[in-house]
Amino acid sequence: MLPVNSSPPNSVVSAPTATNNRKQSISSVPTEKQLPPSTPPSASKSAPLHSGWLQINKLYTPYVSTDPSNHHLYKIPVSLLTFYDLLKIPSLENTFNELKDPSYSFEQTPVTPQEIELINELCLKQNIKPFSIDTKMISLSTFYQYCSANILFVKELPLNEPKASIYKDWSSIVQITGGICRLRNITTLHEQTVPFIGNKLLKTFIISTQCLSSASLTIPSVSEIEFLQLILFFSNISINLHNAKLIDIESVQKEYNVDLILLFNDKFPLNVLNYQHQGQTK
């Protein structure tokens, strides 16, 4: 799961065991008449899992999550991140300190039967060796804090043929200047959050015909679309970029106050961490 023609770092057993267990558990569930009257219907149900593929720098990896709208909660296998040197592992010299200070070690969680089943279903469809049942998982929010890379490109890939959507020139995307800003309408004081690239905003808001007539509208390039997707992913903003256009900030400032919230550059992990900290503070 990573660069094409590469194999996963660990050899693993296949997923039929998890599948058989699920079938057995389903067949053993009592009928509605057999359930005790005091048992709430939701008590036996767990949160549904969402799964898919991510590109992280040159790596592509499966993920699982209980909330598809919150990318920071996506969980990915730790073994892939360490194999591609994307995760800081405490050195042996700090072993004694780790015992005294839990902050030295990052949070890992054992994969659940449901998670490993979904992950291995994805892998088998892509002819990739499945993961073992003792795989450890880490959330993206934790990964950002312990990321060993100075630049970080993250992109959600489609379920069908994820390799075909991998962006190979990912390192150039994170060099683009841009980020997130807040627009405040001068008249109505209505606020909204909008991504920007250089001196242009993503045109997702209403502007008067008079200002629009003098504005500079452009269609974003492939690289700019990739950058916008990166911004939206990190900030958990959902915007359809189909037929997206960019508008120059100067013309927008006739009707909106434009306040910078976060600037992205080649130090992505640090900026993402700052963005999360701001959200937690609020």
**62-103 pLDDT per residue, tens:** 999 999 989 999 999 999 999 999 988 765 445 445 444 444
- CB contact at 8 A, 184 and 257: yes
**106-152 pLDDT per residue, tens:** 689 999 999 999 999 999 999 999 999 999 999 998 898 888 887 88
Residue 180 lies in a domain: yes
- CB contact at 8 A, 73 and 140: yes
> What DSSP element (H or E) covers 172?
helix 170-173
Residue 271 lies in a domain: no
The domain total for the chain is 2
Residue 229 lies in a domain: yes
- CB contact at 8 A, 41 and 70: no
Lowest mean pLDDT among 107-111, 173-177, 229-233, 245-249: 173-177
Q: What is the mean pLDDT of residues 157-169?
A: 93
Residue 119 lies in a domain: yes
d(Cα 26, Cα 127) in Å, to the nearest integer? 28
- CB contact at 8 A, 232 and 195: yes
Concatenated DSSP letters of 1-56: --STT---SS----SHHHHHHHHHHHHTSPPTTTS-TTS-GGGG-PPPPEEEEEEE
Same domain, 159 and 53: yes
Residue appearing with tokens 């997206």:
244
Q: Is the pLDDT of residue 42 over 90?
A: no
> What DSSP element (H or E) covers 239?
none
Q: What's the confidence (pLDDT) of residue 43?
A: 41
Pick from 32, 235, 228, 229: which is nearest to 144 by CA? 235
Same domain, 114 and 240: no
Q: What's the confidence (pLDDT) of residue 170?
A: 93
Q: What's the confidence (pLDDT) of residue 11?
A: 35
Same domain, 204 and 258: yes
Same domain, 213 and 79: no
Residue, of 122 and 177, whose pLDDT is higher: 122
Residue, of 67 and 15, whose pLDDT is higher: 67
What separation, in Å, do the N-terminal and C-terminal C-alpha atoms of the chain show?
A: 37
Q: Is the pLDDT of residue 27 over 70?
A: no
Same domain, 65 and 185: no
For 219, the 3-state DSSP assignment is coil
**181-193 pLDDT per residue, tens:** 999 999 999 999 9
pTM of the entire structure?
A: 0.75
Q: What's the confidence (pLDDT) of residue 174?
A: 85
Q: What's the confidence (pLDDT) of residue 107?
A: 84
Residue 209 lies in a domain: yes
241 lies in which domain range?
A: 176-264
Query: What is the band of 19 on the pLDDT scale with cuts at 50, 70, 90?
Result: very low
Residue, of 167 and 10, whose pLDDT is higher: 167
**201-225 pLDDT per residue, tens:** 999 999 999 999 999 999 999 999 9
Same domain, 79 and 189: no
